[in-house]
Structure 1
Amino acid sequence: MTQAGLDVEPGAPRRVTLRCSRTVRLASAAFALVCAAAVHVCATAHVGAIDALWLSGAALAALGVSFVRHERGQPASIELTPEGVAAFDRTGRPLFQGRIVGFAQWAERVLVLAVAGGGMRRAKAFVVAADAVDAAAFRALAVRGRHATH
């Protein structure tokens, strides 16, 4: 039987590999550029245009490093289990596991799932962009999120 685009037996966990999202990368780059421009405009009035370039460059670098660090901490794959969702890093080490307790969807492009349980003190939220998984897996995650929060 095919479920979420993968051939698995009914009731068996389904593992979905997450790809890097071009949409999230472009949005993050645009955000960083806007922030750097804002720093430059604000700093120019106080320290001059040349020194403001250094400050805006530092802001751009800090945001870039933060994004790379954030992206490395994101799950490389998720497993849809009967009880909820489990997430794994690139080496296959589990990051978190639990049931879906919160869900948001924006324009059929982005899902935000909050997962609680499995010894976590508070819910762990993670973002799944539509271009990070195949359409069937994205649809399965959206349905699971909708049903888990009702």
Structure 2
Amino acid sequence: MLRRSAALLGAMAVFALIASCAVYTVVAPRFGIAQAVWFAAATLSILMLGMLAHERRRPAALKIGPDGIVALSRAGAVMLAGRIVGFSQWTGLLLVLAVAARDGKGRVGPLLIPADSLSPDSFRELAVRARHGAR
């Protein structure tokens, strides 16, 4: 089971705030403070809606087998299934897996796994399997 990642949610929220402040900074000198606040609020709202949509599309569980990995939704539907063909690891904080469809005809899909969504032992095991599976 995957937990919600507080680090990823925090990073997305900080990004949304920085982007809306940037919009305010650009719009205020040209159109006035009232318009700048409106544009900044709209930017923040759109980015936060995107963040919520991302959270809904995030897998709830992972099944790791000898032939690959399966990501399941909260309802138990298969979201992504196949073998690991590539990976990228950002220290012990984030793991990005490239998963190719089992039949070989589907495109490669990314799977983003923050470290705080798994136990430390499970995250390490998944990183090791990704290294060996990507060869």
Smaller-chain TM-score bracket: over 0.9
Q: Distance in 1 between matches of 2:102 and 2:73?
A: 17
Match of 1:139 among 117, 124, 129: 124
Partner of 1:53: 37
Contact conserved, 1:96 with 1:118, CA < 8 A, in 2?
Answer: no
> How high is the TM-score relative to the length of structure 2?
0.95
Q: Which amino acid aligns with 1:123?
A: V
Q: Distance in 1 between matches of 2:114 and 2:34?
A: 38
Q: Distance in 2 between matches of 1:54 and 1:67?
A: 20
> How high is the TM-score relative to the length of structure 1?
0.86
**Length, aligned pairs only:** 134
Write the deviation string for residues 42-90 of structure 1: whole angstroms up to 9, x where unpaired: 1112211111000000000000000100111011001001101001000
Between the two proteins, what is the percent identity of the paired residues?
A: 38
Q: Secondary structure at the match of 1:125?
A: strand
Match of 1:125 among 90, 110, 134: 110
Find runs of 4+ consecutive structure 1 residues off by over 6 angstroms.
Answer: none
Partner of 1:7: none
Point out where structure 1 has 5 or more consecutive residues left out of the alignment.
1-16
Matches within 5 A, 1:55-74: 55-74=39-58
> RMSD between aligned alpha carbons?
1.0
Q: Which amino acid aligns with 2:122?
A: A
Point out where structure 2 has 5 or more consecutive residues left out of the alignment.
none
Write the deviation string for residues 21-51 of structure 1: whole angstroms up to 9, x where unpaired: 0000110111000000000001112211111
Write the deviation string for residues 72-127 of structure 1: whole angstroms up to 9, x where unpaired: 10110010011010010001111121000110000211000110113562111011
- The structure with the largest helix share of the pair is 2
Q: Which segment is superposed worse, 42-51 or 32-41?
A: 42-51
Q: Secondary structure at the match of 2:66?
A: coil
Partner of 2:81: 97
Match of 1:37 among 8, 15, 21: 21
Q: Distance in 2 between matches of 1:62 and 1:146?
A: 37
